[in-house]
């Protein structure tokens, strides 16, 4: 059931997209860029929509999700849009009670703490339980196509989703998560399988609705040793990625603190690997496969630094990429709410100006 029957047709409106070219490792008119979490609280137009609506209400209302997705596209010279949603959206439809608590982040009131709870999780079809996501994409597409901007669909990777489902929120040491991994490996693998199945189906729905590329967020994978990553995480992540590849859109795998895992990450053979600021781009690239593109990797805190330092470090990142085809400029993790919008605007313009091919 995870096998799509057809490849999606490429969208002619996006034929010249620098983002899609770079994602395929091809030479582009300029180094494309976008910012992880580019829609969000640092923008007053986002805060205005969120003032009297919850995060989940915004995600589940296609008109609102479409509007928020477009806000950074209208404000900055970014080369890709990312759907406004969250990696945790599929957890409620599987049976977990999720809320976004102001100032505290995501909270799950019934976290997974037993093998029985894992077995009770449901594996619903995305089309049935999250129809608003495809609908938001359909609403967005005309404006994005007119601007020649591709949309990135996304899901969370099994490990990162499992960490929220088991801990009940963010975590520093992943105590319960690692406990399930080590003490109840059979339940752990059943959980990883269920998560991979739901996310593969959900990404397929996003691609069929019009997502031109997809990103798999494995934000916290770096918390694992290489052995644990290979043993407990790699196989289900690989199944998810293999289920999505036949659609034929570029796949980006992103994690933070993954310097020690890049050899294993390269073996997924995704089109693009996203890295954070801890590993220089050239060092990371040396561990990837020939032709694999790279995405990153400015420290998001630099977006709050004085322009002199910010520009110096944008130059440094571009120098580490050395003009090789297949670089997508990004930050190494999400934009923070304290980020000045002017710096986002200036970085986008500067990267385009500096890398313009004449």
* Minimal distance, residue 130 CB to ligand CP3, in Å: 15
Of 25 and 177, nearer to ligand CP3 (C-beta) is 177
Q: What gap in Å lies between CA 230 and CA 339, rounded to an integer?
A: 36
Q: What gap in Å lies between CA 217 and CA 215, rounded to an integer?
A: 6
The neighbour count for residue 48, using CB atoms within 10 Å, is 10
Q: Hey, what are 187's tokens?
A: 């339940």
Q: Are the CB atoms for 259 and 287 separated by under 8 Å? A: no
User: Distance from first CA to last CA of the chain, Å, rounded?
Assistant: 47
42, 164, 268, 350: the catalytic one is 164
- Residue ranges binding ligand CP3 (CB under 6 A): 36-41, 50, 55, 82, 84-88, 100, 105-106, 154, 170, 217, 219, 333-334
Q: Are the CB atoms for 210 and 141 separated by under 8 Å? A: yes
* Minimal distance, residue 109 CB to ligand CP3, in Å: 16
333 is in an annotated binding site: yes
Q: Which residue is nearest to ligand CP3 (CB)?
A: 219
3 is in an annotated binding site: no
37 is in an annotated binding site: yes
24 is catalytic: no
50 is catalytic: yes
Of 25 and 158, nearer to ligand CP3 (C-beta) is 158
Return the SS3 of 107. Answer: strand
* Minimal distance, residue 163 CB to ligand CP3, in Å: 9
39 is in an annotated binding site: yes
5 is in an annotated binding site: no
Return the SS3 of 296. Answer: strand
42, 46, 60, 86: the catalytic one is 86
50, 190, 311, 324: the catalytic one is 50
86 is in an annotated binding site: yes
> Residues 77, 82, 83, 87: what is their CA dihedral angle, to the nearest 10 degrees?
-150
CA angle 257, 78, 346 (to 5 degrees): 90
Of 85 and 197, nearer to ligand CP3 (C-beta) is 85
Of 25 and 210, nearer to ligand CP3 (C-beta) is 210
Beta bridge partners of 253: 216, 273
Q: Are the CB atoms for 236 and 163 separated by under 8 Å? A: no
25: phi > 0 → left, psi -120 to 50 → alpha, else beta; which?
A: left
16 is catalytic: no
Of 84 and 285, nearer to ligand CP3 (C-beta) is 84
* Minimal distance, residue 175 CB to ligand CP3, in Å: 18
The residues annotated with a catalytic role in the active site are: 37, 41, 50, 86, 164
Per the annotation, where are the binding residues? 37-41, 86, 164, 219, 333
Per the annotation, where are the binding residues for substrate? 37-41, 86, 164, 219, 333
């Amino acid at each position: 059931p995870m096998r799509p029957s057809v490849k999606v047709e490429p969208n002619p409106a996006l034929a010249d997209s620098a983002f899609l070219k770079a994602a395929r490792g091809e030479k582009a008119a300029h180094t494309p860029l976008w910012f992880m979490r580019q829609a969000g609280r640092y923008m007053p137009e986002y805060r205005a929509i969120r003032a009297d609506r919850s995060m989940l209400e915004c995600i589940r209302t296609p008109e609102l999700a479409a509007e928020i997705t477009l806000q950074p596209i209208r404000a900055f010279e970014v080369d890709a849009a990312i759907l406004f949603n969250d990696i945790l959206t599929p957890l409620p439809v599987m049976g977990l009670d999720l809320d976004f608590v102001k100032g505290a982040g995501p909270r799950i009131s019934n976290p997974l703490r037993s093998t029985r709870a894992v077995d009770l999780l449901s594996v619903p079809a995305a089309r049935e339980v999250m129809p608003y996501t495809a609908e938001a994409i359909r609403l967005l597409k005309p404006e994005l196509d007119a601007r020649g901007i591709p949309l990135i669909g996304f899901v969370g990777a099994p490990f990162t989703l499992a960490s929220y489902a088991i801990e009940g929120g963010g975590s520093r040491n992943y105590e319960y998560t690692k406990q399930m991994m080590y003490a109840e490996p059979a339940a752990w693998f059943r959980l990883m399988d269920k998560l991979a199945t739901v996310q593969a189906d959900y990404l397929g729905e996003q691609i069929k609705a019009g997502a031109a590329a997809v990103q798999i967020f494995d934000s916290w994978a770096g918390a694992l040793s290489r052995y644990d990553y290979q043993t407990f995480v790699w196989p289900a992540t690989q199944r998810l990625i293999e289920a999505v590849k036949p659609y034929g859109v570029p796949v980006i795998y992103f994690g933070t603190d993954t310097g020690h895992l890049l050899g294993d990450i390269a073996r997924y053979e995704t089109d693009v690997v996203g890295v954070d600021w801890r590993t220089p781009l050239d060092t990371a690239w040396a561990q990837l496969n020939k032709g694999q593109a790279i995405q990153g990797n400015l420290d998001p805190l630099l977006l709050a630094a004085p322009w002199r330092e910010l520009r110096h470090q944008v130059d440094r990142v571009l120098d580490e990429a050395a003009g090789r085809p297949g670089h997508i400029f990004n930050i190494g993790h999400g934009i923070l709410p304290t980020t000045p919008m002017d710096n986002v605007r200036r970085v986008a313009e500067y990267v385009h100006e500096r890398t313009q091919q004449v």
